[in-house]
Amino acid sequence: MRRLNIEAAQKQQRALELRNLGVGFDRIASELGYADRSGAWRAVKAALDRAVVEPAHEQRIIQSQRLDMLVRQALQAVLAGDLDQIPNVLRVEKRRAELWGLDAPRAVEVSGPDGGPLKTDVGALLLERLQALTPQDLPAEPTVLERLQGRLAEISSVPSGVIDTTEAEEPSSSEPPEEEDLEEP
């Protein structure tokens, strides 16, 4: 394993800082004395590879402590009479709530008896409502009543909870014709 001297590490860190400021690799190379842009790129990559990334939980604790300091100072200012600091206190507290997920919506799970699935019988409900319809409930068109009565008869023959809501359609021109419609040459 190759040892890294302190000067090279500092130079790579400076390359990373410049890159974070939006400086291009060509300019980084010329400012820091790399032969070309690929040298600057390798320096930035090396600095990133050495970077220590703290776990999210530790980052939250550190940020929470910073927020504590900020809110403490802002509250002291408010208590001293500087009411202009109230929005700052509220912003800090909002950030704390976001950081720790305090305002996150609660997950609600709806389940049936003993945690099992909910059982619904939409088919029986629909059948019950259709059977309760009277001619006065329907428009004056006799065809609507006839169609509903026909569907009611179909639904009555289907087991509870299973309803076919599709209607038979004429084949459209975009569908391939059935075999009997094909003409032989």
What would the pLDDT profile of 106-143 be if each residue is shown by its tens digit? 777 778 778 787 767 777 777 788 778 777 776 665 56
- Give the whole-angstrom CA distance, residue 116 versus residue 109: 11
User: What is the percentage of the chain residues whose pLDDT exceeds 70?
Assistant: 72
Q: Is residue 42 part of a domain?
A: yes
Burial 49-71 (b: 16+ CB within 10 A, else e): eeeeeeeeeeeeeeeeeebeebb
- Domain check: are 41 and 66 in the same one? no
Whether residue 20 is contained in a domain is answered as: yes
Chain segment 86-100, per-residue pLDDT in tens: 999 999 999 999 998
> Is 54's pLDDT higher than 90?
no
pLDDT band at 2 (very low <50, low <70, confident <90, very high): low
- Please give the share of the chain, as a percent, with pLDDT higher than 90: 41
* Backbone φ, ψ for residue 23 (5° rounding): -75, 140
The answer to the question of residue 165 being in a domain is no
* Residues 46 and 63 occupy one common structural domain: no
Which tops the pLDDT comparison, 157 or 120?
120
Residues 44 and 62 in one domain: no
Range 160-164, long-range pairs (CB < 8 A, 24+ positions): 160/121, 160/123, 160/124, 161/121, 161/122, 161/123, 161/124, 162/123, 163/122, 163/123, 163/126
Q: Does residue 45 sit in the same domain as residue 60?
A: no
- Rounded to whole angstroms, how far apart are CA atoms 52 and 139? 74
**Domain tally for the chain?**
3
Predicted pLDDT at 136: 72
Q: What is the mean pLDDT of residues 155-159?
A: 59
| pLDDT, the chain, mean | 79
Give, in order, the Cα–Cα distances in Å from 97 to each of 66, 77, 78, 88: 14, 22, 21, 14
Residue 44 lies in a domain: yes
Name the least confident of 75-79, 93-97, 178-182.
Answer: 178-182
Q: Is residue 43 part of a domain?
A: yes
Q: Determine, yes or no, domain membership for 167.
A: no
Burial of residue 93, with CB atoms counted within 10 A of its CB: 0-12 exposed, 13-18 middle, 19 or more buried = middle
- For residue 164, is it within any domain? no
The C-alpha atoms of residue 68 and residue 63 are separated, in whole angstroms, by: 9
Compute the average pLDDT of residues 66-81.
94
Structural domain including 152 reads 122-156
Cα of first residue to Cα of last residue in the chain, in angstroms, is: 79
- Return the structure tokens found at 134: 């009277």
Q: Does residue 168 belong to any structural domain of this protein? A: no
